[in-house]
């Protein structure tokens, strides 16, 4: 199809519309002066019927006859992209995911639609994010293909960490665009050119079965979380904030999280750290010791929950400093390898004295270490809903008996 043909037709249509607008302006003239204008109207109608419309039909015919093969090739390339056995993503110059194939979505543990529009750096370890962004930008500028090894913040099979992956970045100019995109291929480190796994992607029936099993597993996990937390709260023999928060933190650590941090809010609104329940085998001199010595007021996400009373769920948080930093300025989330977090305000029952929020529970889930926790991957919204119930039950224990409304 000739682009010039469409341009010329557009210019003729613009001139035609201008002449029609001038003819519309003479409608208010006396009837004896409209004869010449009516003749001009007929001329313009004949021009549209005999000249403009046939040209439009001819251009449409050429477009359809010349573009069929191109569309078929485009559909074929899209099918090949989706069925590649290697995880592949198409990024823009800022490192945002434009397309993700089935193998890539399976590797990252999310749907392709969820990943689209999100930065790929959000799925890698915080220490590797800046390097990935810089390399992707260099490839998009045309500085040549690159390769980088990064750690992914996604769980492997059976909760095992997936280790480090080698990303091969190559510039690609999509049809009809003026800027390069970045084609990204994921390969296991040290196995360039080898398949990611020895088996093919699951079929439709196997995938449906896995989906049903995973849904049933999630329901069982949520029931376990609620049961363990409720049992711990009913077993506490004291209403002291430290004992109550410590008990519920240990229960949550054993069922749904890698780390649980509990902060109490005193009558004056000041935050006080009560408990830091760390993964088994975690050295007390590492991140756990830094969290125990930390002032909760230096944790923006905790302060926000204590003042606003809103549950916060963050998956692969971009702001690594949202839970504060240690004495050396290192972000706590980076030191603990946090994949996602949930911050739960423990709100007092209506009519209770004191601040509206009596405590804040913060749960971490690590991408590289499961350490016995029950549910891999980032926190989901159903899990956040169950944890909110746990926070309400905790508030009842901390606040004492509540008189039901009449």
For residue 189, what pLDDT is reported?
62
- pTM greater than 0.95 (yes/no): no
For residue 271, what pLDDT is reported?
92
By residue count, the chain amounts to 406
The residue with tokens 């079929």 is: 203
Report whether 155 contacts 367 (CB < 8 A). yes
d(CA 359, CA 245) in angstroms, rounded, equals 8
Q: What is the DSSP string of 248-304?
A: HHHHHHHHT-SEEEEEEE-TTS-EEEEEEEPPTT--TTTHHHHHHTS-GGG-HHHHH
d(CA 39, CA 109) in angstroms, rounded, equals 70
Residue 397 to residues 215, 235, 254, 354, 363: CA-CA distances in angstroms? 31, 11, 20, 15, 20
Closest-CA residue to 128 (of 98, 97, 163, 157): 163
For residue 217, what pLDDT is reported?
54
Q: Quick one: 142 exposed, middle or buried, by C-beta within 10 A (0-12, 13-18, 19+)?
A: exposed
Report whether 197 contacts 103 (CB < 8 A). no
d(CA 283, CA 63) in angstroms, rounded, equals 68
Report whether 249 contacts 275 (CB < 8 A). yes
For residue 107, what pLDDT is reported?
85
pLDDT per residue of the chain (406 residues) written in tens, 0 to 9: 455 566 677 777 777 777 777 777 777 667 666 676 777 777 777 777 777 777 777 777 766 665 555 566 667 777 777 877 888 999 988 888 988 888 888 888 777 777 888 888 888 888 788 888 888 988 888 888 888 888 887 654 434 345 688 888 888 887 767 788 898 988 876 544 443 333 333 443 444 434 444 545 566 667 778 888 888 888 888 778 888 998 999 988 878 889 999 999 888 888 999 999 988 878 777 888 899 899 999 999 999 999 888 888 888 887 888 999 988 888 888 888 888 899 999 988 776 666 788 899 999 988 654 444 444 577 877 888 888 889 888 888 887 544 444 3
For residue 206, what pLDDT is reported?
44
CB atoms within 10 A of CB 254: 19
Closest-CA residue to 109 (of 161, 57, 60, 63): 161
Report whether 106 contacts 123 (CB < 8 A). no
For residue 64, what pLDDT is reported?
63
Closest-CA residue to 361 (of 252, 238, 221, 269): 252
The residue with tokens 């613009």 is: 14
């Amino acid at each position: 199809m000739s682009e010039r043909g469409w341009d010329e037709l557009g210019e003729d249509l613009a001139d035609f519309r201008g002449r029609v607008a001038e003819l519309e302006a003479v409608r208010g003239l006396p009837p004896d002066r409209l004869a010449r204008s009516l003749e001009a109207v007929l001329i313009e109608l004949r021009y549209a019927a005999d000249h403009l419309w046939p040209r439009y039909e001819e251009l449409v015919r050429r477009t359809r006859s010349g573009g069929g093969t191109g569309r078929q090739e485009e559909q074929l390339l899209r099918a090949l992209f989706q069925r590649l056995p290697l995880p592949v993503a198409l990024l823009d110059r800022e490192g945002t995911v434009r397309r993700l194939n089935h193998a890539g979505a399976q590797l990252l543990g999310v749907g392709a639609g969820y990943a689209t529009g999100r930065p790929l750096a959000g799925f890698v370890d915080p220490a590797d994010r800046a390097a990935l962004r810089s390399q992707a930008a260099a490839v998009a500028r045309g500085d040549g293909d690159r390769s980088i090894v990064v750690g992914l913040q996604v769980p492997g099979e059976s909760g095992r960490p997936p280790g480090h992956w080698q990303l091969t970045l190559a510039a690609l100019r999509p049809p009809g665009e003026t800027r390069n995109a970045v084609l990204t291929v994921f390969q296991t480190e040290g196995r360039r050119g080898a398949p990611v796994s020895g088996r093919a992607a699951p079929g439709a029936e196997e995938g449906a079965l896995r989906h049903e099993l995973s849904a049933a597993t999630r329901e069982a996990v949520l029931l376990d979380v609620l049961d363990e937390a409720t049992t711990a709260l009913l077993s506490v023999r004291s209403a002291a904030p430290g004992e109550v928060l410590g008990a519920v933190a240990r229960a949550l650590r054993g069922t749904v999280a890698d780390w649980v941090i509990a902060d109490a809010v005193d009558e004056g609104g000041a935050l006080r750290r009560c408990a830091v329940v760390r993964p088994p085998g975690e050295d007390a001199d590492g991140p756990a010791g830094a969290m125990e010595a930390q002032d909760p007021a230096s944790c923006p996400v905790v302060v926000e929950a204590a003042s606003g009373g809103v549950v916060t769920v963050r998956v692969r948080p971009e702001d690594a400093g949202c839970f504060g930093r240690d004495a050396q300025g290192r972000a706590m989330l980076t030191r603990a390898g946090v994949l996602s977090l949930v911050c739960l305000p423990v709100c007092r029952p209506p009519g209770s004295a004191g601040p509206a929020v009596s405590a804040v529970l913060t749960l971490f889930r690590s991408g590289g270490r499961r350490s016995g926790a029950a549910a891999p991957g980032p926190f989901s919204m159903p899990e956040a809903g169950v944890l909110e119930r746990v926070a309400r039950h905790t508030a009842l224990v901390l606040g004492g008996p509540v008189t039901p409304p009449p």
